[in-house]
Structure 1
Amino acid sequence: MSNKSQYVLRKFGPITERRDYSISPKKFETPDFLKMQRDSVEYFLTKGVEEELRNIYPIEAHGKVKIEYIENSATFEYPNKTEFEAIKEAKQKGSSYYGKLKARLKQINDETGEVVSAEVVFAEIPIMTYGGSFIINGSEKVIASQLIRSTGAYFGVNVRNKQANDLFNKVEIIPQVGSW
């Protein structure tokens, strides 16, 4: 019997490789469970920010100064490093892995008629890693999706009481407002 084990190297994510010692040729393909969250963040950065800026602007200050958002000028600037390098550096330094949200604004002074246009950094927005987490102050944070129960009465029949080890019926009332 030979001492060498037969295995296949399989990729898991952009940098992780694992040895697969399975005998069965059939492979169960797991779905990408993080795709929905990554797509949601990508939508926010590409389209959602633009929609919100259009809803907020123009801003007027007592009829004297007006600030307008120049449409389709919002851009998200990623760090100049690879994701792996930027994440490693953020964890070591205790900083955040983020990008800059920039947009062009136009300031109109109604009294003088002066118009000034400039690119403004709106915010530093955390970037979601390929693994679905964010690096905030050197710590990895994740979004935990929750199922929210609907308001109303929930009935349980023959529910076992663990302390007394007997069966009983139960009604659980979940209010529309407040804790339950």
Structure 2
Amino acid sequence: MAEKRTNAAGRVFFSKEDSILKTPDLIAHQKKSWKDFVDTGLSEIFGELNPIDDYTGQKLALRFKNYEFQDPKTTKDFAKENNLTFEAPLHVQVELTNKVTGEVKEQEIYLGDYPWMTDQGTFVINGTERVVVSQLIRSEGVYFTADVINGRRYYGAKIIPVRGAWLEFETAANGAIFVKIDRRRKVPATTLLRALSRVGSGEIRESFKDVETGEINWTEATLEKDNSRGPNEALIEVYRRLRPGDLATVDNARSMIEKMFFDFKRFDYGRVGRYKINKRLGLDTPNTNENRVFQMDDLYAILKEIIRLNNTQEAPDDIDSLENRRVKLVGELVARQFRVGMLRMQRNAMDRMSMTEIESVTPGQLVNARPVVAAVREFFASSQLAQVMDETNPLSELSHKRRLSSMGPG
């Protein structure tokens, strides 16, 4: 008979090993997501905004540098008993540069109190314990679609970034490939190619000759619908589609299009989007901030894939498949709201820059934390994903914290 042993807790063991399998932390994913938001998510948001220039871009520049969340002012239990929010204050080091004189001013600014995750993975909002449910969303990236016309598939594609203009490609029954930018009027895809890469018809034909193996020459069909005869004409044509009624000049068009596609503040695939595009198109573009903006290699690869699919008639991507969906955890959901608030604060700061004396202004006079605090609190108070925790029993509480939902924005 095995020797009987008793551990410190009074549990009796007859086996050779008296250890019990350690229960894993079943909400570790939520805690890690929140920690990532606190450690790196905020710095990424500040990096996207830096620098905040005045409207002229020649007088003042505001930069957010180091930041720190201090300890919460109350305990979780005290907040629940007194109908308070369990929150922590955020302090940020802000640098203001006077571009005229070269003077640099630094100041630590209190940027408000923000709901803080408890050790149990919950949030206490006005005395009520809430859970942020993870969201199941369509992943960013590129998806290839198909429309059936007269019994034949004609293929297209959708580029879905984290932020910025969507691009939607489609093939017409006459074989021409068109693109819609931000759901505006469509233009021939070769017009966009000319505008962005400044190439001529001969170079376009040369780029796609290796995939033009079918009965229909899709490149030629698209060029026939392309009325632009050079890069400058293409820029103006795209500009007119995006800004009908505005005066179209080459400089205006180039400036707007470059900002729309190649400015990281306005266009970002996101890490997941860049990864998915690389995987779907067989690219090896580095997943860095510089390469998360629109790339010409992406455009050429997408058009080649559309032509290949038009020739082979393969099945299009299933946009509802789970392989084309991903989970947004609490850190990413809160970061989204924090970014919304920071963009409001940015506009506020730029307005203040234009109304103050640049010699005497300080960072504290330009930074207003209220829009940021309001945006984050609005999420916890009214979002479909920030739910009152189910406290029926411990198991229902745990399952609520691990729940997935397809509700909410995105």
TM-score by length of 1: 0.60
**Separation in 1 of the partners of 2:93 and 2:109?**
6
Task: Give the structure 1 partner of residue 125 of structure 2.
Answer: 136
Task: Give the structure 2 partner of residue 48 of structure 1.
Answer: 41
Q: 2:73, 2:87 within 8 Å by CA — same for their partners in 1?
A: no
Structure 1 residue 65 displacement after superposition? 1.8
Structure 1 residue 56 displacement after superposition? 1.0
Equivalent pairs: percent with the same residue?
A: 30
**Separation in 1 of the partners of 2:132 and 2:45?**
22
Partner amino acid for 1:48? G
Asked if 1:60 is matched to 2:87, the reply is no
Asked if 1:37 is matched to 2:30, the reply is yes
Paired residue total? 133
Asked if 1:94 is matched to 2:83, the reply is yes
**Separation in 2 of the partners of 1:109 and 1:26?**
65
Partner amino acid for 1:69? F
Partner amino acid for 2:34? V
Task: Give the structure 1 partner of residue 134 of structure 2.
Answer: 145
Structure 1 residue 113 displacement after superposition? 4.1
Alignment partner of 2:134: what SS? coil
1 or 2, which has the higher helix percentage? 2
**Separation in 2 of the partners of 1:140 and 1:9?**
32
Partner amino acid for 1:65? L
TM-score by length of 2: 0.28
Alignment partner of 1:78: what SS? coil
**Separation in 2 of the partners of 1:112 and 1:28?**
66
Partner amino acid for 1:89? F
CA RMSD between the two structures = 3.3
Q: 2:73, 2:88 within 8 Å by CA — same for their partners in 1?
A: no
Structure 1 residue 89 displacement after superposition? 1.4
Deviations 1:52-106 (A, max 9, x none): 1111111001232211123xx111111266xxxx112111221111112211111
Bigger RCO (CA 8 Å, 6+ sep): 2
**Separation in 2 of the partners of 1:46 and 1:30?**
27
Aligned match of 1:116 in 97, 105, 109? Answer: 105
**Separation in 2 of the partners of 1:108 and 1:94?**
42
1 or 2, which has the higher strand percentage? 1
Q: 2:87, 2:115 within 8 Å by CA — same for their partners in 1?
A: yes
Asked if 1:107 is matched to 2:101, the reply is no
Task: Give the structure 2 partner of residue 69 of structure 1.
Answer: 64
**Separation in 1 of the partners of 2:71 and 2:125?**
16
- Judged with a 3 Å threshold, the aligned counterparts in structure 2 of structure 1 residues 91 and 131 are, in CA distance, closer, same or farther, namely same
Structure 1 residue 123 displacement after superposition? 3.4
Alignment partner of 2:32: what SS? helix
